[in-house]
Amino acid sequence: MSKQRVLIKIGGNALGRDDTTVADLVSLQKQGYLPVVVHGGGKTITEWLERMDVPTRFVEGLRVTDAGSIDVVVAVLAGLMNKRLVAEINAAGGRAVGLCGADGGMLRARVKDPELGLVGAISSVDAALLETLLGDGYILVIAPIGVLHDSQGAGTLLNINADSVAAEIGAAVGASQFVFLTDVPGVRGRDGEIVPELSAEEARGLIAEGVIAGGMIPKVEACLEAVQRVPLAVILDGRRPHALRDCMAGQQVGTRIG
């Protein structure tokens, strides 16, 4: 039987101080899973933009990205964060390769909304390179950078929300599970409490009411897309020790959407 592919999204602030996610990824690989990781970099990008004196602004959870900030976004996401994660996985005994959407022409994108600047919406995924590497058993670590495919400006790098990339890459590789590690224990409902289970309909309602806001919007939307193909997607606190291991073992953690 072919190995199960699991899509794991790691938020930019989801790794705890004594992080166990890397160790959990390596154990999953040893157990015979094929983990496909997409990482964000929200907080680190903001720090670097501040260091470089580039102002930053969000609209509905998406970072407005101008010509000045895209260089920092690419350098931090596809460089620093991607390579650190790959190095940590390999140092922990795993076998990982780091990529971004430019590699192998993986993520073709268009400008999502001119008001957001160089922010991409995915047009298509070419998973050929991913298949080759998965065939060799590598853990894939993917930074959410896409490439503009319009006749004008083709080849321009675009910043794409990592949750949206996770949904598309997970679908393209036929992931059987989707796990979103973030910096909150799950999705908060109207009363501010974490909701253990959300139907697609309830999730849409909470977005419409503004209870689900900011960066949680693209994340819940990514889950809604994922559950069109798999039974459920889970959002949980990646800073909690062994959050990933426990979730994969079937423990009820965070918010399950399905």
Footprint on this chain of ligand ATP (rule: CB under 6 A): 11-14, 40-42, 61, 162-163, 182-184, 187-188, 211-216, 219
Among residues 9, 11, 24, 117, the one annotated as catalytic is 9
Contact track, Mg ion, 133-162, x by CB under 5 A:
------------------------------
The yes-or-no answer on residue 219 being catalytic is: yes
- Name residue 108's amino acid: R
Q: How many residues touch Mg ion (CB under 5 A)?
A: 1
How far is Cα 225 from Cα 202, in angstroms, rounded to an integer? 14
* Paired strand residues for 198: 257
Catalytic residue among 11, 12, 117, 215: 12
Q: Distance from first CA to last CA of the chain, Å, rounded?
A: 26
Residue type, 86: V
Spot the catalytic one: 40, 41, 42, 101.
42
Q: How many CB atoms lie within 10 A of CB 164?
A: 23
Given Mg ion, ligand ATP, none, residue 170, with its beta carbon under 5 to 8 Å by kind, binds none
DSSP state of 115: G
Q: Are strands 139-143 and 34-39 parallel, antiparallel or unpaired?
A: parallel
Q: Residue for token digits 């794409």?
A: 160
Tokens of 155: 């080849």
Q: Which does 101 bind (CB under 5 to 8 A by kind): ligand ATP, Mg ion, none?
A: none
Report what 211 binds from Mg ion, ligand ATP, none; CB cut-off 5-8 Å by kind: ligand ATP
Is 215 a binding residue for Mg ion by CB under 5 A? The answer is yes
Q: Which residue is nearest to Mg ion (CB)?
A: 215
Write down the least CB distance from residue 254 to ligand ATP, Å: 10
The single residue listed with the structure tokens 């960066």 is 215
**C-alpha separations of 51 from 47, 79, 160 in Å:** 6, 17, 22
* Least Cβ distance, residue 214 to ligand ATP (angstroms): 4
Closest separation in Å from C-beta 216 to Mg ion: 8
Task: List active site positions.
Answer: 9, 12, 42, 163, 219
